[in-house]
Amino acid sequence: MPNLTAAMLVIGDEILSGRTRDSNMHHLAGELARRGIDLREVRIVADDHFAIVEALNALRAVWDQVFTSGGIGPTHDDITADAVAAAFGVRIEVNAQARAILAARYESMGTEFNEARLRMARMPEGATLIENPVSGAPGFSIGNVHVMAGVPAVFEAMAASVLSGIIGGVSLLSQALIILRPEGEIAGPLSTLARDFPDLAMGSYPFVRNGVFGAQVVIRGTDGARVDAAMLRLAALFPQAGE
Amino acid sequence: MPNLTAAMLVIGDEILSGRTRDSNMHHLAGELARRGIDLREVRIVADDHFAIVEALNALRAVWDQVFTSGGIGPTHDDITADAVAAAFGVRIEVNAQARAILAARYESMGTEFNEARLRMARMPEGATLIENPVSGAPGFSIGNVHVMAGVPAVFEAMAASVLSGIIGGVSLLSQALIILRPEGEIAGPLSTLARDFPDLAMGSYPFVRNGVFGAQVVIRGTDGARVDAAMLRLAALFPQAGE
């Protein structure tokens, strides 16, 4: 059975303007890899209704699972729930369960449950809740789309909750070797090795450190013995790399 | 005249697998903002020919300038140049100028100019070079697409070179105010403020720090006096925020 595929949609002017450096994508990528789910595409769009609708419809049609981050708070620029409803062609409504969770939380805190906060209970018809143990206001899933907050602590908690309910595929195993030679000398032998192991994925990630050129060569596959065999061949090709 | 728009295409299995945290996007976002060019969309795709072709054609049709990172080295997984040629429907060829640059560089280093390294001179017909002061092998531009390396030091040098040739729009001015209140209390007044200043963009970026809920409210616009006026109103609405 092939692995599940996934995509992520990051919604946020603050990422595109360079003001904030995204961390949610990197977090999710690691969590998905650990579970054997292949993250295949990420898109980052502005807080713009049509941009969100278009990107979401493109991604959810192609990949098994889609994760979004950002735009589900109480302020006027939080337009993700409306855009998701539009993408699915369903009405947006105040979700009774979400409203009850928020009402209980604000009551226990002695805080007013005002109109802005009620906005956070607005969800597409048919959505199911994603628990938010950090700040209360839940995310939601609809179809194969999981809508989560942009604040990293909240995003990570919601991602853990969603991922516990998704069965992953076979974990991808990987091994890496750092080779302190310019990539131009690694390329030829690596290409031959890749042809000899068509069942494995081999990537070369070059770097420059203190003026020294090198590359980290990563070999990935689902069969550990094959990954081991290829890695042994690679190490033999570049014997000085073991240092 | 409206600002130039831009998009970025990040090509890299290593980002999607969570192994590497992207820094090129964050760097480019900041550089574009400083020049008044609006970064409107980012896509991250795997080292996959059709994924690159499709994403590139979608982005270059919609946005004024497209920047790519990754996949232009000498190894077998460096397939960006071929994909860009396919996207533009032109042949790929050994660029004579790029070949001369590489030949001179390897000769001066006393290094063999082998077949793998020659790969880095392969570019779509009609491409012009982007200088690479860090490691020699040039990037290239074709149409409104600028193809750069994935290694951050090289990407940043190439971006500086490309951006010096692109005339930006009017710089966007921004001011930010940190308000130590839950976003649910900020939302109502901020929404009214946004309606009173339709020419400005107002964003609220919530955070939780040591259990305290707050938000950074950012007001952006091209007219400094208007941004100042809105910021004064905001500060008056949340007087405790000045601390």
By C-alpha distance, the chain A residue nearest B62 is A51
User: Whole-number mean pLDDT of chain B?
Assistant: 90
Q: Which residues pair with B44 in a beta bridge?
A: A42, B10
Look at residue B169 in the predicted model and tell me its pLDDT: 59
B191 neighbourhood in chain A, CB within 8 Å: 75-76, 116
| A93-138 per-position pLDDT tens digit | 999 999 999 999 999 888 899 989 999 999 999 999 998 888 889 9
From the CB of residue A91, how many other CB atoms can be counted at a distance below 10 Å?
10
By C-alpha distance, the chain A residue nearest B37 is A17
By C-alpha distance, the chain A residue nearest B153 is A208
Residue closest to B206 by CA, chosen among B234, B233, B185, B232 = B185
Query: What is the pTM assigned to this prediction?
Result: 0.83
Selecting from B16, B191, B213 the residue whose C-beta is nearest the C-beta of A39 gives: B16
Selecting from B75, B188, B215 the residue whose C-beta is nearest the C-beta of A114 gives: B188
Proportion of chain A above pLDDT 90, given as a percent? 63
Selecting from A45, A77, A184 the residue whose C-beta is nearest the C-beta of B203 gives: A77
- Min distance A220 CA to chain B CA atoms (Å): 11
- Poorest-confidence range of A27-41, A210-224, B168-182? B168-182
Question: With an 8 Å Cβ cutoff, are B75 and A191 in contact?
Answer: yes
| Cβ-contact B165, B131 below 8 angstroms | no
Q: Does B94 score more than 80 pLDDT?
A: yes
Q: Does A233 score more than 90 pLDDT?
A: yes
Buried b (16+ CB within 10 A) or exposed e, B96-105: eebbebbeeb
Question: With an 8 Å Cβ cutoff, are B184 and A17 in contact?
Answer: no
By C-alpha distance, the chain A residue nearest B207 is A151
Look at residue B170 in the predicted model and tell me its pLDDT: 65
Roughly how many angstroms between the first and final C-alpha of chain A, as a whole number? Answer: 39
Look at residue A242 in the predicted model and tell me its pLDDT: 41
Q: Does B18 score more than 70 pLDDT?
A: yes
Task: Give the distance from CA B105 to its chain's centroid.
Answer: 29
Selecting from B151, B205, B207 the residue whose C-beta is nearest the C-beta of A206 gives: B151
For strands B38-45 and A38-45, give the pairing. Answer: antiparallel
A201 neighbourhood in chain B, CB within 8 Å: 13
B112 neighbourhood in chain A, CB within 8 Å: 185
With bands split at pLDDT 50, 70 and 90, how would you rate the model's confidence at B63? very high
B208 neighbourhood in chain A, CB within 8 Å: 134-135, 151, 153-154
Mean of the pLDDT values across residues B219-232?
A: 90
CA distances from B174 to A19, A175, B104, B118 (A): 10, 45, 46, 46
Question: With an 8 Å Cβ cutoff, are A40 and B45 in contact?
Answer: yes
With bands split at pLDDT 50, 70 and 90, how would you rate the model's confidence at A35? confident
Which range of A5-9, B72-76, B175-179 scores highest in mean pLDDT? It is: A5-9
